[in-house]
């Protein structure tokens, strides 16, 4: 089982220090959230809360994910990094592919691109990107990134993106693409790539999700290839439960954001103590 620490709502000036602590304690990697901005008024319904209200406001810090990953990679040697999730349809593919490729190269191949279609329509309007076609745009964007990461001279003429023959360097080490979201479209998208990122599920929901992803992988002829299922549980991380989920096909578990465990504004030392407890009570007892 791979253990990922969520850095949702994490203080930006403590990211590098937290990364070094996570590496020392045996975490596989850390997950970085993404939003370009927080509109003053949000009418879009947040998909992961019963009341539809987002769990953040204008005071919440949102580091630019790839800058943060580069900084954390510079102070670690083994820790992995993924966005969870990057709202990729807000971005242009040439810039996104270049940014992720550079981070993957600088980190020695410790980077995954975790993406989602996004839910906040206001953010798309502010950025000047369409909201209704974001899923189709995301599918094409990911294909374009794969093409550009080859390091070869390539061209693309699609429904949303079009460019002549060109090359991007550096050609990065392999970059897995993980997809977040629980909608049928998101699960199909994940099955076409390298992994799925849970946004919060009960232990009872996990087996059906694993089975659905396996079926979709088989339909696409990819059942024999590696595939990551990274589960964020809404239940306490009991080691026996985690071993059962691992036997069922779950490959990774997400530790709660430290802002949920400690509250906002905690010190780096308090975070160290919380991470040490998790490493001793969960990681050590599950392996």
Backbone angles phi, psi at 157, to 5 degrees: -135, 90
Q: Are 28 and 36 in contact (CB under 8 A)?
A: no
Instruction: Identify the helix (H) or strand (E) that includes residue 179.
Output: strand 177-180
Q: β-strands 162-166, 154-157: how paired?
A: antiparallel
Helix, strand, coil share (%) of the chain residues, nearest 5: 40, 15, 40
Q: What is the DSSP letter of 14?
A: G
d(CA 117, CA 226): 23
Q: What is the tens place of the pLDDT at every residue in 121-156?
A: 999 999 999 999 999 999 999 999 999 999 999 999
Q: What is the tens place of the pLDDT at every residue in 238-282?
A: 999 999 999 999 999 999 999 999 998 999 999 999 999 999 999
**What separation in angstroms does the CA of 241 have from each of 147, 195, 285?**
40, 21, 11
Confidence of residue 49 (pLDDT cuts 50, 70, 90): confident
Is the pLDDT at 50 greater than 90, yes or no?
A: no
What's this model's pTM, rounded to 2 decimal places? 0.97
In the chain, where the domains are located? 188-197+206-255
From 229, 235, 224, 233, select the one nearest 248 (Cα to Cα): 229
The helix-helix angle for 65-74 and 93-106 (nearest 10°) equals 10
Q: What percent of the chain has pLDDT over 90?
A: 95
pLDDT of residue 51: 92
């Amino acid at each position: 089982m791979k253990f990922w620490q969520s850095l949702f709502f994490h203080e930006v000036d403590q990211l590098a220090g937290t990364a070094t602590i996570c590496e020392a304690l045996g975490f596989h990697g850390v997950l970085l959230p993404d939003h370009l901005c927080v509109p003053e008024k949000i009418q879009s319904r947040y998909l992961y809360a019963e009341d539809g209200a987002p769990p953040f406001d204008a005071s919440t810090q949102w580091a630019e994910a790839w800058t943060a990953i580069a900084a954390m990679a510079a102070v670690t040697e083994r820790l992995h990094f993924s966005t969870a999730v990057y709202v990729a349809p807000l971005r242009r593919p040439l810039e996104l592919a270049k940014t992720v490729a550079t981070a993957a190269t600088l980190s020695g191949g410790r980077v995954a691109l975790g993406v989602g279609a996004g839910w906040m329509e206001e953010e798309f309007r502010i950025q000047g990107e369409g909201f209704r076609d974001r899923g189709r745009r995301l599918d094409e964007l990911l294909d374009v990134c794969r093409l550009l990461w080859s390091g070869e001279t390539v061209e693309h003429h699609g429904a949303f993106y079009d460019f002549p023959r060109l090359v991007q360097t550096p050609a990065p080490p392999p970059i897995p693409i993980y997809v977040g979201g629980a909608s049928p479209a998101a699960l199909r998208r994940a099955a076409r790539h390298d992994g799925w990122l849970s946004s919060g599920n009960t232990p009872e929901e996990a087996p059906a999700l694993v089975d659905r992803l396996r079926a979709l992988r088989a339909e696409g002829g990819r059942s024999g290839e590696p595939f990551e299922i990274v589960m964020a549980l809404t239940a306490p991380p009991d080691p026996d439960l985690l071993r059962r989920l691992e036997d069922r096909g779950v490959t990774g578990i997400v530790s709660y954001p430290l802002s949920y465990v400690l509250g906002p504004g905690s010190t780096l030392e308090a975070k160290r103590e919380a991470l040490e407890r998790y490493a001793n009570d969960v990681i050590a007892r599950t392996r």
